[in-house]
Amino acid sequence: MNHQVRIDRFRSARGDHTLVVLEGFHPLKHAIRFGAELLDVVAAEDGDLEKLVAEYAPDAAAKVAEHVRVIPADVFAKLAPVTPPTGVIAIAMRPKVSPVQMLDDQDPAPVVMLENPRNLLNIGAVIRVSAAAGAAGVLTTGPQDPWNPAAVIAATGLQYAIPVARIDSLPACHRPLVVIDPGGEPLRQGLLPSNAILAFGAEREGLSRELLARATHCVSIPMAPGVSSLNLATAVSAVLYAWRLGL
Ligand SMILES: C[S@@+](CC[C@H](N)C(=O)[O-])C[C@H]1O[C@@H](n2cnc3c(N)ncnc32)[C@H](O)[C@@H]1O
């Protein structure tokens, strides 16, 4: 593939919702580990890809070797708005995710729902901790795409580890809806039901009245006097690990 064709391909992949741009080594590592279908993997000629693979992901070595093409550093620099310091960037297929299937699942693990989140780094951090804690998936509403390359960087590509999708609104389902809100009942043992949807609000506005009104439980994370709220991703981490540790 000639260099201009590749530059154009990466540019158009950013606007294609069937594809994912993986900027950097750690998103690529997790994408491979969790079964992504890779379309194009390119490394800068002056990068450290071999060393990174040997050190952090020997399990991904065969896939990287099968797909990678080494290109000049000046061409590599044109493939992303900010050049990945790890010297690798890739395009992969976006998996098809069924929110209905995710919500229908009877597994005790919770679904994390973010209502209208604004910050892509928060969205990525939420996906990362949701994958780590063993959540059933992450759903978002609002305009932000949880597969946006910036969210993929922040999640280190763990969008591939659990189902992640954007929805227009939360459909009716059998799962108990637990809203996590500073005005709720302080979190304690026994307050998080099994198989729940854990819903978190936007960074500035918090949760909408509509979602608060639909909730079966409203839970807060206790804070020291004078503190207004936690960062969105931090709040998700606290609640997910309370659930994981059996609180
Ligand atoms: C930055 S906070 C939003 C703050 C917003 N001004 C409010 O009062 O809800 C983003 C989200 O994180 C969650 N959150 C943050 N701190 C919390 C706390 N102490 N208790 C419960 N939820 C919290 C809530 O879901 C909240 O909607």
The pLDDT, as a whole number, for residue 2 is: 87
Distance 216 CA to ligand 1 centre (A): 18
Report the alpha-carbon distance of residue 211 to residue 197 in Å, rounded. Answer: 12
Distance 206 CA to ligand 1 centre (A): 6
| 220 close to ligand 1 (CB < 6 Angstrom) | yes
* Nearest CA, atom 7, ligand 1: 206
Q: What CATH number should be reported for the domain whose range is 3-93?
A: 3.30.1330.30
How do the domains of the chain map onto residue ranges? 3-93, 99-244
Distance 99 CA to ligand 1 centre (A): 24
The pLDDT, as a whole number, for residue 96 is: 96
pLDDT in tens, 24-68: 999 999 999 999 999 999 999 998 999 999 999 999 999 999 999
**What's the 3-state SS for the chain?**
CCHHHHHHHHHHHCCCCCEEEEECHHHHHHHHHCCCCEEEEEEECCCCHHHHHHHHCHHHHHHHHHHEEEECHHHHCCCCCCCCCCCEEEEEECCCCCHHHHHHCCCCCCEEEECCCCCHHHHHHHHHHHHHHCCCEEEECCCCCCCCHHHHHHCCCHHHCCCEEECCCCCCCCCCEEEEEEEEEECCCCCCCCCCEEEECECCCECCHHHHHHCCEEEECCCCCCCCCCCHHHHHHHHHHHHHCCC
pLDDT along the chain (247 residues), means of 10: 90 96 98 98 94 95 96 95 95 97 95 98 98 98 98 98 98 96 95 96 97 97 96 98 93
Contacts 24+ apart (CB under 8 A), 202-209: 202/115, 202/116, 202/117, 202/118, 202/142, 202/232, 203/117, 203/118, 203/119, 203/122, 203/231, 203/232, 204/118, 205/116, 206/181, 206/182, 207/115, 207/179, 207/181, 208/115, 208/116
Report the alpha-carbon distance of residue 241 to residue 247 in Å, rounded. Answer: 9
This prediction's pTM: 0.96
* Nearest CA, atom 9, ligand 1: 206
Pick the CATH number of 99-244 from 3.20.20.70, 2.60.40.1180, 3.40.1280.10, 1.10.3720.10: 3.40.1280.10
| 182 close to ligand 1 (CB < 6 Angstrom) | yes
| 242 close to ligand 1 (CB < 6 Angstrom) | no
* Nearest CA, atom 2, ligand 1: 203
Mutate to test the pocket of ligand 1, among 140, 205, 228, 229 (most ligand atoms within 8 A of CB): 229
Mutate to test the pocket of ligand 1, among 181, 220, 240 (most ligand atoms within 8 A of CB): 181
